């Protein structure tokens, strides 16, 4: 005879498996031994000035890995893009870019982009970051391989 608590977990598992909902994106998707972002500060910087996001109080710099390359109209598998997310301080009209908050990564695989959020202090997946939000924001950029830059300028 099944115990009541076991039955609850079994039913919950079956319902979630059959619900048709897709699972959350893996925040890291690797076995914690591969560090896609190692040495990113020495990669090609895409933007010379930070993208300032006043609402989020953030500044963004983007970097392309040395192996990043465009084939036809899309990045080739193995390409890595790192978005360095920094805090900003606002005093009147002055905006000052300060400490590193998070690294957002796009890793191109055969089947498409993998989105990752990394805590730069630990090198582990950033807590409380839903990488599904990355996909939502990038999905309307299909003509530029889901990036926010014209590929020919990279």
Give percent of the chain with pLDDT exceeding 90: 37
DSSP 98: E
| Amino acid 153: pLDDT | 61
- CA dihedral (60, 38, 32, 76) positive or negative: positive
Contact 108, 77 (CB under 8 A): yes
- Residue 136 vs residue 64, higher pLDDT: 64
Q: Of 109, 150, 130, 116, whose CA–CA distance to 22 is shortest?
A: 130
Over its C-alpha atoms, the chain yields an Rg (Å, rounded) of 19
Residues 85-100: tens digit of each pLDDT: 999 999 999 999 999 9
pLDDT at 4 over 70: no
- Residue 35 vs residue 70, higher pLDDT: 70
pLDDT at 31 over 60: no
Q: Which fold has domain 23-153?
A: Chalcone isomerase (3.50.70)
In whole angstroms, what is the distance from residue 6 CA to residue 114 CA? Answer: 35
Query: If 0-12 CB within 10 Å is exposed, 13-18 middle and 19+ buried, where does residue 148 land?
Result: middle
Strands 58-64 and 51-53: antiparallel
In whole angstroms, what is the distance from residue 17 CA to residue 23 CA? Answer: 9
- CA dihedral (53, 58, 63, 65) positive or negative: negative
| Amino acid 123: pLDDT | 86
Question: Whole-prediction pTM value?
Answer: 0.71
In whole angstroms, what is the distance from residue 46 CA to residue 29 CA? Answer: 25
**pLDDT confidence bin for 129, thresholds 50/70/90:** confident
Q: Compute the average pLDDT of residues 38-62.
A: 92
């Amino acid at each position: 005879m099944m115990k009541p608590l076991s039955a609850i977990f079994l039913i919950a598992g079956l319902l979630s498996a059959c619900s048709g909902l897709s699972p959350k994106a893996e925040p890291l998707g690797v076995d914690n031994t591969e560090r896609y972002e190692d040495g990113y500060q020495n990669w090609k910087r895409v933007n010379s000035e930070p993208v300032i996001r006043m609402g989020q109080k953030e500044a963004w710099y983007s970097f392309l890995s040395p192996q990043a390359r465009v084939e036809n109209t899309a990045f080739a598998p193995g390409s890595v893009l790192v978005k360095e997310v920094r805090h900003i301080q606002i005093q009147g009209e002055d905006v000052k870019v300060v400490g590193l908050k998070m690294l957002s990564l796009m890793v191109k695989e055969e089947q498409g982009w993998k989105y990752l959020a990394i805590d730069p202090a630990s090198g582990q997946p950033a807590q409380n970051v839903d990488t599904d939000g990355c996909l939502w924001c990038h999905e309307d950029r299909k003509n530029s391989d889901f990036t926010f830059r014209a590929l020919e300028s990279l």
